[in-house]
Structure formats: C-alpha cells, structure tokens
C-alpha cells in the first residue's frame, strides 16, 4: 500500500478530501473550442479574446474548493450571466487552471461545461476561466438541500445517461476526468447535467493508455487508484475505468442521500476510505434502501473492484437502467426535482 503509507489525510468534507497531485504534466496552450453547442449561459456579448476581468461584476459565490473560488458574475454591458472560476494564487492551482482550459478547448458537448474565455489575471501566469453558468448548482449541493432524501430512480437514470454521454465524449477525445463526483456534476434549470472541474484531468497520448496520477478526491477513487501495484496495474491504472467507478459511487450516493461506502456518521478519513474501498465488500445498495433490479445491476456493473471486469461507458449506455428508461418521464423527474428543492 505505497500510496496509503505515503500520505494520511485529516478528516475533511468529502468534496474536498483530495490526494495531492504529482508533478503537473506540461500542458499545451488554450485553444478556443470550435462549434461549441449552445449552453445555459447567455451567449457571448463579444469575441472572447476581448473580455477582461474588469468587464464582470461579481454577484455571488457559487462554491469554494482546493482549486479556487467560483463566482456568479454578470457582464456589465450586456447583463449576460456566467460562472467565473478564479484559482488560488499558487503554482499548483495555476497549473490546474491551465489543464482545465486545455481540456475544455478539446470538447464541444452539451454534457460538458463550456468554457467561454480564459481571462489573464494580474499575477503573471494566472488566469480565470469564464464558464457556462449551470444555475441549478451541483448534485452535491442538491443532495444537501434535500436533507438526505433520496433521488427518485427516474431522475437518477437521466443523471446517469447524461453523465455517461459526457464521459463518452471525453474518452473519445482521449480525455479522462479522474474526479467524477456529485460536486463535479452540475445541472441547469432545463435539467441538463454537465461534467465540470477538469483541474486533475489527463489527456492521454493514445486511446487505451494507462495512467499513474493520484490526484483527485479519495472518497471517489477506485481500488486500483489507491494501490495500482497490488491490483495488477504495475503502478498504472485504466483512467476510463476509474471514471466509471466515480460515476457508480455518485449515482449510489444520490439514491442513498449520503456517502454510501461508509456507515452513516463515520468520518471519511484516509484510513477508513482505504479500508472500505480496497478491502470492504463490493459497494452495493445498502439494506433497507429500495431500489429496482435494474438500478442494482447498473451500480454493480460500475463498481466491480477489478477494473478489468468493470463495465465500459458504452456498455453502461446500453444498460437497461439507462437505455430502457422513459426519456421524457426521466427528464421531467429531474426538472421537477430542481423545482422542489429551489
């Protein structure tokens, strides 16, 4: 357990329980995305290269994390609304912002948050990201507002379908997210789910390449990420399979209403997470929680401990829980969920 011995993290909220990143890989410069789909944000008022930070008025803090602060902002001239991600002033966060900008420049999907512009800051090398505004917030916040109440399965099927579509888009472009969790799945008032926060993502040289990054949120890491040497990876793991595990934990958490891999009330410190993920039983719907056979099968396919037996994104998109859903009813259930907790 080389990774476990190297670092013990203090008890923290799950959304911020991160494993330190290794040395950042060199990343290419930002390139504007071509043919990006329409997003929930107001359309750009003028070409992105003409935007300045001074053009925007901060309205509210949407979230704070290890990588920086995200604000809801308004363009002073047009009134257009966006999210502005401002990194902390340190080298690691600047590198994460560069990674995120590069990844988002490669994508043009309605299931991935859109980056409108990269705005230079006063400190050389630092930049803020002008992002599409997902006004429904994160699924993590939605769980909190529901006070632990479970998501209806119809809404969960839509969340899974849209998140898988986003992962399929990324993986086809050799991008692995590596931090799939409720806090990084955003939703707008139309019920559109979007993958966000690509600060620890990796762009692979070739499709099928393995990865050795230990950056991300420990609670949503797969067993082979905790200890790749002991699990047949020779120190490396399949990053696409790791994304599937994160999605499986996420969907299960939305059903249960709390982090599902530890008993209710147990603090998610490093040792507890390592024991549960690496040495505990395969995660499943807890006793006493109602779930359909299709949901149970879907979660089991996502959370097989051997990554070589874990379902792929393509297989999960064809799974009866996703492919067999009533699309109209599923989307309506997700939109209604947003209205109920607003």
- Per-residue pLDDT band at 6 (split at 50, 70, 90): very low
- Per-residue pLDDT band at 199 (split at 50, 70, 90): confident
pLDDT value, residue 270:
87
SS3 of the chain: helix, strand, coil, percent, to 5: 40, 15, 45
pLDDT value, residue 124:
67
- Residue 239: CA atoms inside 13 Å, Cβ hemisphere, count? 28
Distance CA 275, CA 263 (A): 12
- Per-residue pLDDT band at 38 (split at 50, 70, 90): very low
Mean of the per-residue pLDDT values for the chain?
81
Distance CA 96, CA 48 (A): 21
The secondary element (H helix, E strand) that includes residue 81 is strand 81-87
Q: Is 85 marked as a binding-site residue?
A: yes
Higher pLDDT, 273 or 103: 273
* Strand 175-176 with 185-187, pairing: unpaired
Catalytic residue among 93, 135, 140, 179: 179
pLDDT value, residue 342:
54
pLDDT value, residue 98:
76
Please, what's the b/e burial string for 157-186 (b: 16 or more CB within 10 A of its CB; e: otherwise)?
Answer: bbbbbbbbbbbbbbbebbbbbbbbbbbbbb
Above pLDDT 70, what percent of the chain? Answer: 78
Distance CA 63, CA 186 (A): 12
Read off the tokens for 49: 């290269």
Contacts of 321 (CB under 8 A, 6+ apart): 157, 160, 292, 294, 295, 297, 298
Task: Give mean pLDDT, residues 80-102.
Answer: 79
pLDDT tens sequence across 204-228: 776 767 777 777 899 999 998 887 6
- Residue 72: CA atoms inside 13 Å, Cβ hemisphere, count? 13
DSSP-H helix ranges across the chain = 2-6, 91-105, 139-145, 153-172, 223-226, 239-256, 270-274, 293-302, 313-317, 320-323, 327-341
pLDDT tens sequence across 119-144: 888 776 678 899 999 999 999 998 88
Nearest 5°: the CA angle 152, 155, 159 is 135
Catalytic residue check, 306: no
* CATH code of the domain made up of 23-131: 3.30.200.20
Task: Give mean pLDDT, residues 1-15.
Answer: 38
| DSSP single-letter state for residue 16 | G
The CATH-assigned architecture of domain 139-341 is: Orthogonal Bundle (1.10)
- Per-residue pLDDT band at 194 (split at 50, 70, 90): very high
pLDDT at residue 10 is higher than 80: no
Task: Give mean pLDDT, residues 193-214.
Answer: 81
Contacts of 226 (CB under 8 A, 6+ apart): 1, 3, 4, 218, 274, 277, 278
pLDDT value, residue 291:
95
pLDDT tens sequence across 249-303: 999 999 999 999 998 888 888 889 989 999 988 899 998 899 999 999 999 999 9
The structural domains of the chain, with segments of one domain joined by +, span 23-131, 139-341
């Amino acid at each position: 357990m080389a990774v476990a011995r190297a670092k013990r993290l203090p008890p923290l909220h799950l959304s911020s329980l991160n494993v330190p990143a290794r040395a950042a890989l060199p990343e290419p410069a930002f390139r504007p995305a071509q043919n990006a789909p329409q997003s929930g944000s107001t359309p750009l008022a003028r070409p992105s290269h003409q935007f300045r930070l001074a053009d925007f008025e901060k309205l509210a803090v949407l979230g704070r994390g290890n990588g920086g602060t995200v604000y809801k902002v308004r363009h002073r001239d047009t009134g257009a609304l966006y999210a502005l991600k401002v990194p902390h002033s340190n080298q690691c966060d600047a590198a994460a912002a560069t990674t995120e900008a590069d990844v988002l420049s490669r994508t043009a999907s309605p299931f991935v948050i859109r980056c409108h512009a990269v705005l230079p800051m006063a400190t050389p090398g630092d930049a803020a990201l002008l992002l599409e505004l997902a006004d429904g917030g994160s699924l993590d916040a939605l769980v909190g507002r529901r006070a632990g109440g479970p998501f209806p399965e119809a809404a969960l099927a839509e969340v899974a379908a849209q998140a898988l579509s986003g992962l399929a888009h990324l993986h086809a472009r050799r991008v692995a997210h590596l931090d799939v969790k409720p806090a990084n799945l955003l939703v707008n008032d139309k019920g559109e789910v979007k993958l966000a926060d690509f600060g620890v993502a990796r762009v692979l040289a070739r499709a099928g390449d393995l990865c050795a990054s230990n950056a991300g949120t420990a609670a949503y890491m797969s067993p082979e990420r905790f200890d790749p040497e002991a699990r047949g990876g020779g120190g490396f793991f399949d990053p696409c399979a790791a994304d599937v595990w994160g999605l499986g934990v996420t969907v299960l958490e939305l059903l249960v209403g709390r982090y599902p891999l530890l008993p209710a009330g147990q603090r998610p410190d490093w040792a507890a997470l390592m024991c549960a993920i690496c040495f505990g039983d395969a995660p499943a719907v807890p006793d006493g929680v109602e779930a359909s056979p299709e949901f149970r099968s879907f979660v089991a396919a996502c959370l097989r401990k051997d990554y070589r037996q874990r379902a792929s994104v393509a297989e999960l998109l064809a799974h009866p829980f996703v492919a067999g859903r009533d699309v109209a009813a599923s989307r309506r259930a997700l939109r209604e969920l947003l209205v109920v907790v607003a």
